[in-house]
Amino acid sequence: MTCCQKSASLILIRDDFKVLMLKRSHEISFGGSFVFPGGILEETDYKIAFADSQLIQQNQQRYFCPLNQPWYDASLIAAIRETTEETNIQLEYKQLYSKIKPFMRIVTPQMMEKRYDTQFFVFNLNNYDQLEINKAESSSYEWDTPVGFLQKFINRQIYLQPPIFLQLLILKQLRSYQNIITYIDSGDQFKHTYPHIFQFSYKGAFNYPDPNYNLQKLLDAEQTDYLKREFKIRYNKMERSDFRFEFEANLKSLTGFIGKFKNSPLALLDGQIINNGQFIQNKARL
């Protein structure tokens, strides 16, 4: 078990519902994987966040709680900074505070050698078909729909890390940027501050989160101090995760369950929730 590094990522989505993915250079972490722009939080992110804290809070208040406000603010700054560094798209911090929205927060499982606590954000951005990406970090880039990237992954044309796969699947089901914003702004206003714990289960399936995990055992085993404090304070909220997906390791078919919890805006996922939350998603239907 290792301690988490705090990181942030920005999902850029165009009006045609194509998202930007970067292929990581093989010389750096997650080399060869397709990822959203993002990276580790730096000291300068906290400094800018502190200087702009009042303005950020005015525009992002509903999305964080006092427990992790400094981390959330710095994550927002890091997502913008990393996107600018990796894509050369010039983004102005103050102009974006009211436009960027939090999408998901994902914490790497405790058994993994490298762990990250990553806040993902979304932002609607057009007019950037051609990019001059930072070749030191990414070898190429691509705009495609969530369905397109999922299909390429299943056909072994690209490689995706499990958290990226999960978010593409959710984006695919939400179908439009307006639906994404409606989802984010509905239901529990603090849901985006809770870690979405995911674990490896038997038979090579991934669970988001594992339905059988023991919260107390998770709390006792956590070595990252701030996560331990957060789990303890938010202990009674942990079971309210919006999503649980289980899918076969070869990804030729996807099977799973979506829980309907209090204040969860899952009604947006029309056509996918059947048989009391169970669904089967075959390759042909992607």
**pLDDT at residue 53 in the model:** 94
Angle at 249 between CA 243 and CA 254, to 5 degrees: 50
With pLDDT > 70 as the criterion, what percentage of the chain qualifies?
A: 67
Angle at 169 between CA 164 and CA 175, to 5 degrees: 125
CB 20 within 8 A of CB 37: yes
HEC string of 95-110 equals HHCCCCEEEEEEECCC
**Looking at the predicted structure, is the pLDDT value of residue 155 above 60?**
yes
Both tokens assigned to 249: 């390791």
Q: Between 146-154 and 162-174, two packed helices, what is the crossing angle to 10 degrees?
A: 140
Both tokens assigned to 156: 């072994």
Locus of tokens 């006792």? 220
With pLDDT > 90 as the criterion, what percentage of the chain qualifies?
A: 36
**pLDDT at residue 217 in the model:** 72
Angle at 34 between CA 29 and CA 35, to 5 degrees: 70
CB 121 within 8 A of CB 38: no
**What does the alpha-carbon distance between residue 31 and residue 8 come to, in Å, rounded to a whole number?**
18
**What does the alpha-carbon distance between residue 123 and residue 60 come to, in Å, rounded to a whole number?**
14
Kindly report each contact of residues 81-86 with a partner whose C-beta sits within 8 Å and lies 24 or more positions away, as own/partner: 81/42, 81/44, 81/45, 82/8, 82/9, 82/10, 82/37, 82/38, 82/39, 83/10, 83/12, 83/37, 83/38, 85/39, 85/134, 85/137, 86/22, 86/37, 86/39, 86/133, 86/134, 86/137, 86/138
**What does the alpha-carbon distance between residue 105 and residue 103 come to, in Å, rounded to a whole number?**
7
Question: 132 or 188: which carries more pLDDT confidence?
Answer: 132
Question: 266 or 230: which carries more pLDDT confidence?
Answer: 230
* Reported confidence tier of residue 108, pLDDT bands at 50, 70, 90: confident
The CA-atom distances, in angstroms, between 245 and each of 73, 88, 197, 209, 213 are 29, 35, 12, 8, 14
The arithmetic mean of pLDDT across residues 54-65, rounded, is 86
The CATH class of the 4-285 domain is alpha beta
200-218: pLDDT as tens digits: 444 444 445 544 556 677 7
Angle at 276 between CA 190 and CA 266, to 5 degrees: 30
The arithmetic mean of pLDDT across residues 154-183, rounded, is 83
pTM, 2 dp: 0.82
* Mean pLDDT score across all residues of the chain: 76
The arithmetic mean of pLDDT across residues 84-89, rounded, is 96
Please list the alpha-helical segments (H only) found in the chain: 43-51, 53-60, 69-87, 93-96, 146-154, 162-174, 177-185, 215-221, 225-233
* Reported confidence tier of residue 234, pLDDT bands at 50, 70, 90: low
**Looking at the predicted structure, is the pLDDT value of residue 150 above 60?**
yes
Question: 126 or 165: which carries more pLDDT confidence?
Answer: 126
